[in-house]
């Protein structure tokens, strides 16, 4: 809409006085809102210059309410001067967020620079924009917080270079939010798909296989290799953990405290890890978990196993691992994982007559895989806290 020659001035002297000299924040914010709505139209060159000066006055107002009225009203408008937008991007979060999320006046270089020096909330705001160039997502990959990288990776309007995706996965390899967001992108380079297969969960691997043309043998090979490498690494960390409770809570926070990992720890003799793991999953103190696990009657272990939500089909394997641990503890000797697993397997084969065949096959397969692990450190046969 163009202002005609007969139209009254778009900004009246009383408007300007009210904006500059309004006695309260609310009154000045109300005037700012009205003026901003008037500005988002086609103006003459002189009126546009005057409008820009008024916007600069608003951006410098001491009242947050006035600056917020400006940011919210013109957040998606191309009439906002770039210098004003950059100033608002440095303002408090409630003002910076709408501008960073929507304003079209920023260049890719502006956004990349903002990402490199901004706090996480501003990085996330940039990551939500309708479109993002590779220059901006490269900056997010290199400097962005986990939430910002996951948000950008899940944004269908964000273009990513192969290098940006690789950097994102390298920095946040343990973040399911990031790996899942990357995995669900419509198109991925082959190198990124292969890298993801070592990081994501089984359900996401199936998506990768379906979406990105991996054959079943390729997916299975990558998946198995990734799982075994991850298991070896975590089992080595378990053996060396100076603070077991903190280590277990760290794994739980990262969604890595799985039933499979607990079974592998149990079949390697790392019972302190199992104790703390069940305590966290069952939401009970460690000393109570210890009493239930090492209850001579066996009912306590069953109770905490069920409370922790572990699969019932694994109960027999855990029970026999615990019995093996107790039998070896009576000797008072620390035995290496291979010896522990040999005793465990012997006990399993002689005691698990009622176990389903698939459970027996499952445990035999896991023990066979674990026998290839690197670590031959002695098993710490101590079940106490």
- The residues spanned by each domain of the chain are 1-75, 231-370
Q: How far is CA 198 from CA 33, 77, 218, 222, 251, in A?
A: 52, 44, 12, 7, 17
- Which long-range contacts does 338-343 make (Cβ < 8 Å, 24+ apart)? 338/371, 338/376, 340/267, 340/268, 340/269, 340/379, 341/267, 341/268, 341/367, 341/370, 341/371
In whole angstroms, give the CA distance from residue 273 to residue 322: 12
**pLDDT lower than 50: segments of the chain:** 1-6, 221-232, 370-385
pLDDT on residue 144: 97
Distances (CA, A) of 148 to 12, 200, 253, 344: 43, 19, 19, 46
Which residue from 209, 216, 215, 219 is spatially nearest to 183, judged by alpha carbons?
209
CB of 133 closer than 8 Å to CB of 108: yes
Q: What are residue 5's DSSP bridge partners?
A: none
Model pLDDT, residue 235: 64
φ, ψ dihedrals at 42, nearest 5°: -80, 125
Q: What pLDDT score does 8 carry?
A: 53
* Residue 265 DSSP code: H
The pLDDT of residue 280 is: 95
Q: Which residues contact 334 (CB under 8 A, 6 or more apart)?
A: 378, 379, 380, 381
190 vs 59: CA distance, rounded Å:
47
Q: Give the pLDDT score at 267.
A: 81
């Amino acid at each position: 809409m163009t202002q005609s020659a007969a139209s009254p001035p778009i900004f009246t002297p009383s408007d300007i006085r009210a904006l500059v000299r309004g006695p309260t924040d609310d009154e000045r914010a109300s005037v700012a809102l009205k003026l901003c709505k008037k500005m988002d139209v086609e103006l003459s060159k002189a009126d546009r210059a005057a409008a820009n000066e008024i916007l600069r006055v608003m951006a410098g107002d001491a009242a947050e309410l006035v600056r917020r009225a400006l940011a919210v009203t013109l957040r998606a408008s191309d009439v906002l001067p770039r210098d004003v937008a950059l100033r608002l991007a440095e303002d408090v979060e409630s003002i910076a967020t709408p501008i960073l999320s929507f304003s079209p006046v920023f260049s890719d270089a502006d956004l990349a620079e903002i990402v490199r020096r901004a706090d996480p909330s501003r990085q996330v705001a940039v990551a939500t924009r309708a479109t993002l160039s590779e220059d901006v997502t490269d900056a997010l990959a290199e400097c962005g917080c986990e939430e910002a990288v996951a948000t950008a990776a899940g944004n269908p309007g964000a273009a990513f270079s192969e290098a940006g995706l690789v950097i994102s996965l390298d920095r946040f390899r343990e973040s399911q939010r990031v790996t899942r967001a990357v995995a669900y992108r419509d198109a991925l380079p082959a190198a990124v798909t292969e890298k993801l297969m070592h990081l994501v969960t089984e359900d996401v691997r199936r998506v990768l296989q379906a979406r990105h043309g991996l054959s079943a043998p390729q997916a299975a090979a990558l998946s198995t290799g990734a799982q075994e490498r991850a298991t070896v690494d975590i089992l080595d960390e378990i053996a060396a953990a100076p603070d077991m409770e903190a280590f277990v809570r760290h794994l739980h926070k990262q969604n890595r405290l799985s039933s499979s990992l607990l079974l592998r720890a149990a079949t390697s003799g790392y019972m302190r890890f199992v104790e703390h793991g069940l305590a966290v999953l069952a939401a009970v103190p460690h000393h109570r978990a210890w009493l239930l696990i090492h209850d001579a009657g066996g009912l306590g272990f069953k109770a905490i196993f069920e409370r922790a939500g572990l699969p019932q089909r694994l109960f027999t394997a855990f029970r026999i691992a615990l019995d093996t641990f107790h039998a070896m503890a009576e000797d008072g000797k620390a035995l290496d994982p291979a010896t522990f697993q040999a005793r465990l397997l012997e006990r399993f084969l002689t005691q698990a007559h009622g176990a389903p065949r698939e459970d027996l096959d499952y445990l035999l397969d896991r023990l066979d895989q674990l026998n290839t692990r690197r670590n031959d450190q002695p098993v710490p046969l101590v079940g106490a806290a």
